[in-house]
Structure 1
Amino acid sequence: MNNVKNTFSIKDLENLTGIKAHTIRIWEKRYNILEPLRTETNIRYYDLKGLQKILNITLLHDYGYKISKISKLPPEKIPVLVNEIISTKSVKNHAISSFKMAMMNFDQKLFLDTYNNLLSDKSFREIFFEVFIPLMEEIGFLWQAETISPAHEHFISYLIKLKLWVNTENIQSNEPTKNDKIFVLYLPSDEVHELGLMYLNYELIFSGYKTIYLGESVPLDSLKDIKKYFNNIVYVCYSTVEPHKEILGTYVKDLKEQILDDDSKVWFIGRNSQYIDEKLRDEKIRVFENITEFVQEI
């Protein structure tokens, strides 16, 4: 059975476009820019075609076009105009909209076409910072709001991971140029949100550091093993949901007691890391607010 979500409420449209549901209703009533479908009980809903249209209208509106003007355009003219006005100023929003549509339709070709178009003008690092990071932040919100399913999130995350793997492999053959410390990157036990950690690994290698990438759900005992082989270690822990904030303090204390020594430290990053008590933060335990701050540090 095909369970792909292909109908959307007006609240879904608000979440996907950033345009308030009240505004969408006004646009519909005053300008007839959308024609919602109706259930047998007269509840409005929208199909994928309607979603694509409102995403395009949102881009035109953000670019300065008035809704009154957009409403007078023939339906087939809107996507043509969107393509014509794509510029350095608007390419980010257009790409994010295209990636959203690729996600909603589970459309790998649209993802690849959008990515390759971006790559003609931008580096991989620019694409990740300017497009993928805000895209994943939006996807996190859409998942919490139940506009998308976990399957949508996994689909788009996997495709982004593929690009990370390829770009990381391309630079891994370079010999490290910095040897003052070595970075060990891992996700704590039961943590599986790996995308951010993978990008940090790419940035560290790009910056000339040697990295040891351990990946998902790493117990403390595995971190102890690393100490047998290397000195001057910076452990990078990416915590999105685990350890739960209620036991996060205990986890940090265990790290200090069991892992850290005179020449090692832990850098925390990820949404959950912000719950680490200020009293536990010192020269050995550092928390980064976001990926941008981390990259600036290295």
Structure 2
Amino acid sequence: MIDVRRMQVLRAVITSGSVTAAAAHLGYTPSAISQQITALEKEAGIALLERVGRGVRPTEAGLLLTRYTAVISERLAEAETALADLRAGREGRLTVRYFASVGPTLLAPALARVRREHPAVAIDPRLADPDDAVAEVYEGDADLALVVRPPAEAPRRGLQVVHLLDDPYRAVLPAGHPLAAKRVLDLTDLAGEPWVLSEPPGPCLAPVTDACAAAGFSPDFASTSQDYATAQGFVAAGLGVTLVPRLGLSARHPGVAVRRLRHPEPPRAIHAVVRSGSLERPVLRTLLDAFREAAGAGRRMPGAEGRVARRTRSGS
């Protein structure tokens, strides 16, 4: 295989007209330049230079190789510029996989910040099953996956897990429910109520059932829904109560009351899964910072529980 660096040395010799001039230009000794040319001729299997007086001139093969050297050097310069832009976050592609309830309140503002700070980076956010999303990160088909339960084998698979926030669950009641008069509910207040199952078994349901077990009861799931919007509709219709994480309440049903919980307040922990080493990318660091910023902004927003409580006290 022909060495590209030796091709560049050959080009310097041909353009300068002598080994000595090329050595002075490149900062090498004439002996080192001659050794590089000799090695290149062995790789090419043909003479590349011939002596003319005190200088040298290219053979036909030397001219041919020099033309390709010019093209290769131009492409290498372009590649170096592209790599510099990628390292600095000035170009590239960012692929993100997420689950539905983090889309409006966490992902959307975070991606807006990335677009402002890295406008040349193409962003590809897609809704995906968390297990599939982690597999895509592992395979290199995605840069980041948002998950609730990080994979236990992440370090072994060359993945890194970054904790972003704890998303607390809220009690969701029919607006006219007697418990809606309270600003904060003990989890045991809901022990005797029929429950609406708001999501399928898995990492988001486990914090709810674990918290109920810690409070000394098992919820009586009388109705089943596997998305938060439908679950709120079931609650508004009087089919039961449910728990929904705060980020899952970005679209509030007008017929429900939302209340904070205590003793205990179950949270779900939201993580980002990335490939180890990829956090060196500025655009990925910006995205993680933006997630934390969006999470903090969400915590500072006035909750629907406060607005409903004021309407209850005023009788409206």
TM-score range (shorter-chain normalised) is: under 0.3
Determine which structure has greater relative contact order: mean sequence separation of CA pairs < 8 Å that are 6+ residues apart, divided by chain length: 2
- TM-score w.r.t. structure 2 length? 0.23
Q: Which has the higher helix share?
A: 1
Q: Which has the higher strand share?
A: 2
